[in-house]
Amino acid sequence: MKRSLILCVMVLVALVGFSADNNTAAATEVSITLAPDATVRIPIRLWCLDFDKPFPAAIDGTITRPSDAALLALQAALARGATESDSYQTQLAIWRATDGAFHDVAGAGHVLAEQIYSDSLKLSVSPVPTNTLELAVSQGSLKVTIENLKAVSDAAHPELLPYSGTADLVVQNTSSQNVTFIPLDGMVFKPASGTNEQTTIAHLDSTKAPLDLPPTGVNILQNVWGQSLALLLLALGASVLGFGMWTRSAGKDSTEVALK
């Protein structure tokens, strides 16, 4: 009985470990480690922070933080899946958080945008990690360039000028040692032209392929090893438990034969 209890605990620990790793892998924050001279390409989606300005032809690689209101509106939209399901309502919510108006220029209404904005008012800004991409760039450890910047037209409202876009955030380690950083949702980029185009707020683009991390991207490897270890414990516990049950069954049969 005692041995069976221990084996059941082993199986339970394995299941909990596997579940915990899955939850960790689903987190929005991605920790990346780059070796000296290594480069990583990160797909991002950008949204307008300046109503009635054109989408930028190029953006500066300098990263700044958004206002709390804009950041929370973006997080609320991401939580609802609106960044993928309804880009127009997502943009209206971000404008509402930024300058106080929905700017429903398409005349489509703003019911979902109101819900997103209402959700954002219930959120609070989390403490900023100490190893953000923004900080590493400001310290000179990493260099950021923007490639493949592309404005995305609203298929549901083709008469509108583009208010969102996609790009690749290319990060290079310019230091002589490994650098670990987190590219946070809510990064703000200024237009390269100055103030005549949109300032944009960005988040990691979940619709694109997973990050193509170099071998030093140990965060992904740690998740894989964690899940593998959990599965190994689960298999080991189940095998030993099954062997124990078979042994007891065989012993019982032998006893019955002996009695006969």
Q: How confident is the model at residue 44 (pLDDT cuts 50, 70, 90)?
A: very high
Tell me which residue has tokens 């409202």.
157
Give the neighbor-by-neighbor strand order of the sheet with 59-64: 59-64, 187-191, 200-204, 39-48, 164-173, 142-152
Question: Would the pLDDT of 72 be above 90?
Answer: yes
Q: What is the pLDDT of residues 74-133, one digit of tens each?
A: 999 999 999 999 999 999 999 999 999 999 999 999 999 999 999 999 999 999 999 999
* pTM listed for this prediction: 0.73
Q: What is the pLDDT of residues 179-235, one digit of tens each?
A: 999 999 999 999 999 889 999 999 999 888 666 666 555 443 333 334 444 444 444
Tell me which residue has tokens 């549901």.
156
State the CB neighbour count (10 A cutoff) for residue 236. 14
- Alpha-carbon gap, residue 77 to 35, rounded angstroms: 34
Question: Would the pLDDT of 143 be above 60?
Answer: yes
Contact between residue 234 and residue 11 where contact means Cβ atoms under 8 Å apart: yes
- Residue 74 tokens, joined: 């973006």
